[in-house]
């Protein structure tokens, strides 16, 4: 049966370590929060039932996410180990004295470096060694024979390989301590290994281009921008994950990369999982005995898969070295959309102790946003990302806007802001119609019951019909509206009598059309 060992820390670097032992990265799932989930497989050849990896070659993984499995893996240990290596090489040794060097190389061309008596300057003489008589050296150069005292010769440069040298074999011993991870096996047979882990340093960001082809149809293209600062990827299956992953310890370092128990602040790494006494206090005596030993542009429209509440875009045969960045096209689809103009009116006063009527009529107060309502009838979930909107008219492409495209499930729709619409005017005002003074209520307090009339003036200066959505928050009791409104009541915990209402008018305005919406509500104002 296959043995699984959870490593709280260990990370085999895909190329630097496992590349040389036959491990290869098969698949990587990349998250938008800058983390990736790696799947690897390969073979390891133990020696003396062990396999050693240098700790310096192992980047950090997330706590509790590293699993290494094999049929014969017993345990994994991290410690400092002394490595002893020897280096043997041949070394040339010169004769023991200058006289023997000269006599062994009579007839060879040489350069003699001389110093005169009572002088520090060096002079060079070149010639062929003729002989050595007592302390006098004789050499010949261009038919001239010269003798010089041997004591003046500081060193000799030979023009060819000297004779008389002795070759001896030398062995050096090198001792070095290194922090290592040792894998212990039950045998020396080659091991098939499976490896998964979660680590940071690799992530992706979605980008969208929305081309408005006509008034009802758009083309949406999604691309993934990948940043890889984790490790080399070569021909791997890369999945871009959409959703909200729950990796609780993604930012907690693994066990082997933490300091010793003495260096931790009151063993904080162990306190989180320490057993508590019946009174809830942690038994610190159990902590001191803990041992740190542990067992190119792609074709659009990638296949997507839904797993639980996550969605995966899958791309095959991706090669991206560490430190690299890349854009990959995920899909390109035509979708339907609708133009909508939206405005949020200023809420009425939500303090029931003091009601202030709105009497101003400011044409610049209510900003009207031109939005498009995109309908996701594709086979892909749209994750939240930056969306650039352009208008395509023949061969001409014009920029319209850029905003955030919200997460949109398959079959759902969303609103994407384009620009402010100065050609759509929305002015509003409120005034008090009447007031019933000092009306006692069940809470024994006195209130004025104020009836408020509101008026919204709409004017479409455009030369085409528009869909307009006007919304407002009203605190009080809704009475009537000249145009049907949609309303949702929310709980108002601050007031027993005044409800909080979200109201909305949805209407169409023809080119150049004007329209007025009138409404009334009551609000209780405490005396």
Structure-token pair, residue 159: 């023009």
Q: Residue with structure tokens 């085409």? A: 464
Cα separation, 181 vs 66, whole angstroms: 14
User: Would you give per-residue pLDDT tens digits along the chain (527 residues)?
Assistant: 444 444 433 333 333 344 334 578 999 999 988 899 999 998 888 999 998 888 777 767 888 888 888 888 988 888 888 888 888 887 777 777 778 888 888 888 888 888 876 677 788 888 888 888 878 888 888 888 888 888 888 888 888 878 877 778 888 888 888 888 888 999 999 988 888 899 989 999 999 999 999 989 999 999 999 999 999 999 999 999 887 778 888 888 888 777 654 454 444 554 454 444 444 443 333 332 233 333 333 434 655 555 556 878 889 999 999 999 999 999 999 999 999 999 999 888 655 455 555 555 565 678 999 999 999 999 888 989 999 999 987 788 999 999 999 999 889 999 999 999 999 999 998 888 999 988 887 778 888 899 999 999 999 999 999 999 999 999 899 999 999 999 998 877 777 788 899 999 999 999 999 999 999 999 888 87
Angle 351-354-355 (CA atoms, 0-180°, nearest 5)?
85
Which residues fall within 8 angstroms of residue 418, CB to CB, at 6 or more apart? 369, 370, 371, 372, 389, 400, 401, 403
Cα separation, 333 vs 493, whole angstroms: 47
Torsion of CA 153, 154, 159, 160, to 10 degrees: 100
- pTM check: above 0.85: no
Cα–Cα distances (Å) from 8 to 78, 197, 255, 352, in that order, read: 12, 10, 5, 57
Cα–Cα distances (Å) from 161 to 93, 104, 164, 173, in that order, read: 13, 12, 10, 30
CB 12 within 8 A of CB 28: no
**Does domain 95-164 bear CATH number 3.30.360.10?**
no
Angle 182-188-190 (CA atoms, 0-180°, nearest 5)?
95
CB 12 within 8 A of CB 18: yes
Angle 70-15-48 (CA atoms, 0-180°, nearest 5)?
45
Phi and psi at 31, nearest 5°, equal -110, 160
Structure-token pair, residue 155: 């060193």
Largest Cα–Cα separation, the chain: 139
Domain residue spans of the chain: 1-82+176-203+231-316, 95-164, 345-527
Structure-token pair, residue 73: 């893996």
DSSP state of 322: T
Length of the chain: 527
Q: Locate the DSSP E strands across 345-384.
A: 369-375
């Amino acid at each position: 049966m296959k043995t699984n060992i959870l490593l709280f820390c260990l990370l085999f670097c895909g190329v630097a370590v496992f590349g040389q032992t036959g491990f290869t990265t098969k698949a990587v799932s990349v998250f938008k929060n800058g983390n990736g989930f790696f799947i690897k497989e390969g073979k390891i050849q133990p020696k003396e039932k062990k396999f050693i990896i240098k700790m310096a070659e192992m980047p950090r993984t997330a706590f509790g996410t590293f699993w290494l499995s094999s049929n014969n893996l017993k345990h994994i240990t991290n410690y400092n180990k002394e490595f002893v290596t020897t280096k043997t090489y041949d070394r040339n040794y010169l004769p023991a004295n200058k006289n023997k060097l000269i006599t062994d190389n009579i007839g060879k061309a040489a350069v003699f470096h001389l110093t005169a008596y009572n002088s520090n300057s060096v002079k060079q003489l070149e010639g062929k060694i003729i002989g050595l008589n007592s302390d006098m050296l004789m050499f010949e150069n261009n038919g001239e024979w010269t003798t010089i005292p041997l004591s003046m010769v500081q060193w000799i440069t030979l023009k060819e390989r000297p004779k008389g040298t002795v070759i001896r074999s030398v062995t050096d011993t090198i001792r070095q301590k290194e922090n290592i991870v040792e894998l212990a096996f039950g045998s020396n047979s080659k091991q098939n290994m499976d490896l998964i882990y979660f680590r940071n340093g690799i992530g992706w960001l979605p980008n969208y281009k929305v081309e408005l082809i006509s008034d009802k149809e758009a083309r949406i293209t999604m691309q993934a921008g990948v940043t890889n600062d984790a490790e080399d990827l070569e021909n791997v299956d890369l999945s871009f994950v959409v959703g909200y992953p729950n990796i609780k310890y993604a930012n907690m370092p693994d066990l082997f990369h933490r300091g010793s128990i003495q260096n931790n602040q009151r063993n904080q790494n162990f306190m989180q999982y320490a057993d508590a006494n019946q009174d809830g206090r942690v038994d610190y005596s159990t902590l001191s005995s803990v041992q740190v030993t542990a067992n190119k542009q792609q074709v659009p429209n990638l296949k997507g898969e839904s797993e639980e509440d996550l969605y995966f875009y899958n791309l095959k045969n991706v090669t991206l070295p560490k430190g690299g960045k890349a854009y990959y096209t995920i899909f390109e689809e035509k979708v339907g959309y609708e133009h909508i103009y939206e405005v949020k009116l200023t809420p009425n006063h939500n303090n029931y102790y003091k009601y202030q009527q709105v009497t101003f009529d400011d044409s610049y107060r209510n900003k009207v946003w031109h939005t498009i309502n995109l309908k996701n009838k594709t086979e892909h979930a749209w994750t939240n990302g930056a969306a650039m909107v352009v208008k395509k008219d023949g061969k001409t492409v014009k920029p319209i806007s850029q905003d955030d495209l919200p997460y949109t499930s398959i079959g759902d729709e969303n609103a994407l802001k384009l620009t402010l619409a100065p050609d759509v005017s929305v002015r509003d005002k409120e005034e008090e119609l009447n007031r019933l003074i000092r009306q006692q209520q069940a809470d024994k307090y006195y209130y004025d019951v104020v009836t408020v009339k509101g008026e919204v003036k709409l004017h479409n200066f455009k030369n085409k019909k528009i869909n307009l959505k006007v919304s407002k928050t009203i605190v009080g009791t809704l009475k009537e509206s000249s145009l049907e409104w949609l309303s949702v009541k929310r709980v108002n915990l601050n007031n027993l009598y005044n409800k909080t209402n979200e109201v909305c008018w949805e209407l169409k305005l023809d080119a150049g059309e004007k329209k007025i919406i009138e409404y009334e509500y009551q609000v209780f104002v405490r005396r």
